[in-house]
Structures are given as structure tokens and as C-alpha cells.
Amino acid sequence: MKEFFKLVFASALGVILSSFILVIFSIVALVAVISVAGKDRKAEVSANSVLYINLNHPISERSIKNPLENLTFMGYENNNIGLNDILAGIKKAETDDNITGIYLNAAGLTAGYATIEEIRNALLHFKKTGKFIIAYSEVYTQAAYYLASVANKVYLNPEGIVDFRGLSSQITFFKDALNKLDIEVQVIKVGTYKSAVEPFILDKMSEPNRLQVKSFLGSMYTHMIQKVAESRHLPTDSVHAISYNAKMRNAADALKYKMVDGLRYKDEVLDELKTLTDIPSDKSIKSISIEKYAPTEDEKKSSSDNIVALVYATGEIISGEGDDEKIGSERISKTLRKVRTDDDVKAVVLRINSPGGSSLASDVIWREVMLTKKVKPVIVSMGNVAASGGYYIACAADSIFAQPNTITGSIGVFGLIPNMQRFFNNKLGITFDGVQTGLFSTTGNFTKPLNDAEKLIIQKEVDRIYNTFTQRVADA
């Protein structure tokens, strides 16, 4: 029996050691793969190549560094490429003699109109080189068509469609649902057009909100119609009529109204690309994707002592560190302090794409922008949206630039405090009781309603923040 246990123990120990060694080997191998994959590898481009831009993915402000971005795993390729690299890739292609043109696939485009505008402008600049742009899709959404309309040739599948019916905005209202649940949302705000609270207290848009949405949506729509008309060499009134009356109901309609240049199957488009790039019909097109073609980190590096720093502020504004999808006041402040004290940095571009957020966090960032502006120029570039706190941090800059379809403004302040007392009492049979040491110790507790004194305190603070906000804008 003793020998038996020795044998079992030895076997178990052997299995454990083998497993441990295997894990260590796997980690070392993975680190080696990541190390190799993470290295910038300059794209090799053959003569007479086509730059393939496939935008069938969400487009973030910038590419997120991923050590596995150069790997293909089980057929999956990482297509994470941000607006910054898309624009840089198009610009790079302008002077690359090996790139003869662009093949654009915007079928699954998911991006705001200001982002699309930037890509569209880059493609328009690319066209000035005399190189071609061919766009093809089975289905064009309105956003995808707006981008594709810049192409020399816009092709559509013979059974495809172009969705070009105008812009709309729809808001979901929760008031009646909250009433059924016995939940009251207590709103304290200032600013007639500060509409973010409306879904919780109304069952339809207020007239001021309807007015402002109609205004900016109409502005964006007019701009889109004008730009499409220019690109398609059509009268603006004709393009408006096509959109307003939804005249393009099938592929034949799109061709009839000259919104596309031809109805093609993909093989026919590929054949045309071969002709344009002098490739024999029995050979494959030489192409490179925008993901692989975009400039590497090494290519982006500059030896100049005159640097313009680009600082990204993307997402909701919060206190703390934040991340690539949230604007943390600490993180942005550290970055601004760093570029402010760097003698090689001669100017700062602050790229903002934010719906707003914490007024306190916004003020912290505002302060750093103001301090930086005293040392070197600060220029704000607005993306899809720079509203509320997004405008707060922008107003301190020397200059502010936005796209025609950027949504910005919304200078107002609000607070939302739910009162769920009746929900707990009537729906769940839960009650609360306790003690407090001050008149306002429980202010903001969602298990009871605010009293008049509490509402007055909060309202005064909201008014104070609003006055600070408006003063910041007025001074700037």
C-alpha cells in the first residue's frame, strides 16, 4: 500500500510539473507572438495597386493600439482603425505612385455625419491628384451614400437599393412607464433648451426642443443635399425632390435619377478595376487594405522640434482617470500639463467628441486649457458632437472649428433625482425608516421625495453652475 501511494504521488507530481511547464511555455510563446505582432511593419505596396477602404465597422476617433492587430486568428482579422488612420492613409495614398486609385465599400458604415464629412473631404482632396475612386455596394444607407457620392463612379448591385429619404430624429419617452411603476423623476434644471431631462417628465417633445432639433437637423440635411448635388453634378432642387419624395425605391430608380453611374455585379466592378490598373483579366487585382496601408507609428514620428500635439477628448466627461471611451478630468489634465511644459510642442489641437457630462470635471479640464493657452496656442477641433460639457472645455481655446454637421452648444445644467418611495411601498411592499443628525442628511436619497427646502438648495447650486458656465463662454 505504501508503494502504491508513492506511485500515485509521483504520477500526480509529474502531471502538475508537466502542466506548469506547459503553461510557462505557452506564456513565453504568446509573449513572443505579441512582441512580433506588435511591431510596426511597413506595408509593401506593389505597382498599380488599389487602396481598399472597407468601412463595415464602427469608426472611433482614433485607432486603439492592439498588440494583436497584425494577426489573423481562426479567420478573424482585426479591423480596428480609427478616423485618424483612415485620413492619414488617404493622404499617404495621394503621393504614393504605387497606388492608382481607391475602391470604396461603405455598405456597413456606422459613424456620425461629422466623421463622414472628414473622410469625404479627404477623398475629395485625393481626387484632385487625378487618381480614381470607385464605390460599390449592394445597399447604400443614407450615410454610406453620402460618403460614396464623392466617387468618380458609384455602382450599385442590380437588385440593390439606395436609402435616401432624409434625416429624422426620434426620442423615447418614459414618463407613462415610470408613472405605472410609481417612480417619480425629480428634475432640477436651468436652460429652456436643455432637453436631456424631457424623456423622464414628458410624453412628447417640448416646443423649444422641437424647434432646436428641427433647426440643426434641417441644417445638416440642407448641407448633405447640397454636397451630394455637387458631387453628382445635379441641380440641388432635383436631389431634394428625390430625397423628400423617396423617389429611389429600387436600383432602376437610382440609375434613372442619375444617383448612381451604373448597375453592376461585383465581378463586373472587379473587371473594371483590372482595366483601370492594367491587370490582365485572368489575374487578381493588386490591392491593400486601409488597415495595413495606414502609416505606422514609425512613419508618423517626426524629428522636428516644432510639434503640434493632438489631444483626444472622447466620450462622456467624468471625474478621475477615464479611458479611451470616457473623458477623465485627471487623465486629460495630466496630458495638457505635459504638452504645456514640453518646449518641443509649439501648439495643441484638442479634438473633442463628447455629449458632455460632469460640470465639475468639465471645469477642471477648462482650467487646464486656459493655463495651456497662456503658454501656446490651443485649437479645438470638434467631431460629431461637442455639447454641454463638451462645449465647456472647448470655449477656453484660442479658436474652435467644427464640421457643418457637428452638433454643439447645449449650454445648460440639470440634475435628476429619482423618487422611488411609492415604487418600493406599493409595488414591492418595502418600507424604509431611519434616523438623521441634520435637516438635510438624507437629501438625494431616492427612497423619499425632496421637500421644498431641499429643492431650493439644489436649484441654487444648479443656477450657480449655470451662471459659471455662461460666464466662461461669455469671457472666452
Residues with a known catalytic role? 194, 388
Task: Spell out the alpha helix ranges (H) of 277-358.
Answer: 290-293, 297-300, 329-340
For the record, the C-alpha cell of 58 comes out as: 464602427
CA–CA distance, 349 with 394 (Å, rounded to integer): 11
CA–CA distance, 429 with 417 (Å, rounded to integer): 22
Please provide residue 204's backbone torsions phi and psi, each rounded to the nearest 5 degrees.
-160, 170
For the record, the C-alpha cell of 375 comes out as: 503658454
For the record, the C-alpha cell of 119 comes out as: 473622410
Q: Are residues 125 and 94 in contact, defined by beta-carbon separation less than 8 angstroms?
A: yes
What is the Cα 35 distance to its own chain's centre? 29
For the record, the C-alpha cell of 22 comes out as: 506547459
Length in residues, the chain: 476
- The counts of H helices and E strands in the chain are 17, 18
Give helix 207-232 / helix 236-244 axis angle, nearest 10°.
Answer: 130
Nearest to 365 by CA among 309, 315, 319, 398: 319
CB atoms closer than 10 angstroms to residue 208: 14
Please provide residue 110's backbone torsions phi and psi, each rounded to the nearest 5 degrees.
-130, 95
Taking phi first (over 0 means left), then psi (-120 to 50 degrees means alpha), and beta for anything else, what does residue 311 get?
A: beta
Please provide residue 5's backbone torsions phi and psi, each rounded to the nearest 5 degrees.
-65, -35
CA–CA distance, 378 with 384 (Å, rounded to integer): 20
**SS3 state at 430:** coil
For the record, the C-alpha cell of 159 comes out as: 437588385
Q: Are residues 312 and 61 in contact, defined by beta-carbon separation less than 8 angstroms?
A: yes
CA–CA distance, 190 with 466 (Å, rounded to integer): 7
What DSSP assignment string belongs to 195-240? Answer: -TTHHHH-SS--HHHHHHHHHHHHHHHHHHHHHHHHHHT--HHHHH
- Give the β-pairing of 378-387 and 407-409: parallel
